[in-house]
Amino acid sequence: MRNNEVIFYIKRVAVIPIILLFAIIQVTLLDAVNLFGIKPDILLGLVLFFGFRWGGIAGFVIGLFSGFTKDIFSGTPFGIDTFSFALTGIVAGFLGRIFYAETTLAQLFLSFWTAFLNHIIYFVVYNTFSHPLSLSYAMRFVILPSSVYTALSSIIIFFILRKSFRET
Amino acid sequence: MSVIEFFKPALRVFNNSSSSVKDWGNSIVGHKRYLKENENLKKRIEELTTRMIALEEARIENERLKALLSFKEALKINSVAAHVIGRDASNWSETILLDKGEKNGIKINSAVVSSGGLVGRVVEVGGTLARVLLITDPDSKVAGLVQSNRESGIVEGIGNNRCRIKYLPLNSDVKKDDVVVTSGISEIAPKGIAIGRVLEVTRDPGGLYMCATLKPHVDLQKIEEVLCIKR
């Protein structure tokens, strides 16, 4: 029991370096898979994985930290990703309790809609506090392609993370 | 001799066979040696291929740096060369990270150019790192000028690797393929640096002015080295 508890905490702490690693990959290597200026959001994929698997509170904490890290690595107004990722983590935790996200199709479906929601939150906050963008433009060039690409990449991310966090 | 002649066909057959047997024997003895040699050659090919790729990469980099250097000389402006080490983590904004910062003389709002033209301006700077807002980012604005008719306007980013020049007069004769350069008014970039080429001319939805969508002169998705103009 004590041993299991130690493993439990080690796994939660291990998420931090993984978030940092994913952030570095996001700004460097992922450019190689850039399609029409859009790349998959692997940090969001990570938040979705832990949200679906560990629940809303873990999703919120991991979302908060991942969003904060992404804010550091991006040129967008600071705090929007922290906010949208934290909310997305909670929603992922909630959806993970309702739906069984183990089959590839279910993962794709849930990842797409949660990523879509994340982008909508981002769009609303960005439009309110920063630069006004047209919804049709954002939908066509960012929200939809990015949600699809993130959902597709989540299959690989989920596979890797599932192997790494098998017992939990 | 005639007796031997009698055996000639047999001798021939055996002689041929003996050479085959000899070859077969040699091939068995040499098999191990050939395998080893084959392995060594494969390793050598791998080594040479890796070296060839590295050399090709160095040649391409050399060409890019030569172009950048000649551009730097043509500009006659004090600048710092920097490598692009990262891109924006988000799909919502278009920025790049450079490996040079304040220690190298880069300041906020320093213009960043490449051999083809304007890349953007520095928006964040650390000791050895700087973030550049690309001209295609919706937050980017720079004063521009249509090279052919000298009409000036504001070039703003519209994302998706495009920007647009706004506030051109309604009777403007700007047309497709016209070149837009920096006007030098905004004090960020010196006058005459290429920004982009006109793709499409449209009237502003409010009907007050004309605007033109531009394709940036520099392929912003592929830049690897840039020059930061010292302010």
ipTM field: 0.77
Check CB contact under 8 Å for B90 and A31. Answer: no
What pLDDT is stored for residue B21 in this prediction?
62
Token pair of B101, please?
Answer: 């910062």
Please write the tens of the pLDDT for every residue from B127-138: 888 999 999 988
Q: From the centroid of its chain, how far is CA B189?
A: 22
- Predicted pLDDT at A66: 92
Q: What is the pLDDT of residue B17?
A: 62
Residue B206 and residue B103 in one domain: yes
Q: What was the pLDDT predicted at B122?
A: 92
Tell me, what's the pLDDT at B133?
92
Residue B150 CB coordination number (10 Å): 8
Chain-chain contact of A27 with B124 (C-beta, under 8 angstroms) = no
Chain A, window 62-121: residues with a beta carbon less than 8 angstroms from a chain B beta carbon = 70, 73-76, 81
CB B86 within 8 A of CB B132: no
Q: Confidence band (pLDDT; 50, 70, 90) for B37? A: confident
Q: Do B87 and A37 touch (CB under 8 A)?
A: no
The residues spanned by each domain of chain A are: 2-164
Last residue of a domain, one of B29, B46, B71: B71
Question: Contact A96/A55 with Cβ under 8 angstroms?
Answer: yes
Residue ranges making up the domain that contains B113: 78-231
Q: Tell me what pLDDT residue B213 has.
A: 92
Q: Residue B139: which CATH number? A: 2.40.10.350
Position with higher pLDDT, B104 vs B116: B104
Confidence of residue B8 (pLDDT cuts 50, 70, 90): low
DSSP per residue, B8-63:
HHHHHHHHHHHHHHHHHHHHHHHHHHHHHHHHHHHHHHHHHHHHHHHHHHHHHHHH
Share of chain B above pLDDT 90, in %: 16
Least confident of A81-85, B37-41, B153-157, B186-190: B186-190
| B88 chain-A contacts, CB cut-off 8 A | 27, 73-76
Q: Contact B89/A122, CB-based, under 8 Å?
A: no
Chain B residues inside the 8 Å CB shell of A75:
88, 90, 93-95, 123-124, 131, 133, 137
- pLDDT score for A64: 92
- Residue B86 sits in the same domain as residue B22: no
Out of B89, B123, B221, closest to residue A27 by CB: B89
- State yes or no: pLDDT of B4 exceeds 50: yes
8 Å CB contact of A142 and B139? no
B167, B225: one domain: yes
Q: Do B221 and A34 touch (CB under 8 A)?
A: yes
Dihedral of CA atoms B72, B78, B82, B84 in degrees, nearest 10, equals: -70
Is B88 in CB contact (< 8 Å) with chain A? yes
Is B93 in Cβ contact with A76 (below 8 Å)? yes
Q: How many domains does chain B have?
A: 2
Shared-domain flag, residues B126 and B218: yes
What CATH code is assigned to A2-164?
1.10.1760
Query: Are residue B45 and residue B93 in the same domain, yes or no?
Result: no
Residue with tokens 């990842």: A111
pLDDT below 50 — which residues of chain A? Answer: 168
Tell me, yes or no, whether B124 and B50 share the same domain: no
Confidence band, pLDDT 50/70/90 cuts, at residue B192: confident
Q: Does B92 touch chain A (CB under 8 A)?
A: yes
Higher pLDDT, B23 or B144: B144
Give CA–CA dist B95/B88, Å, rounded: 5
Band (B148; pLDDT cuts 50, 70, 90): confident
Q: Given this model, what pLDDT does residue A168 score?
A: 47
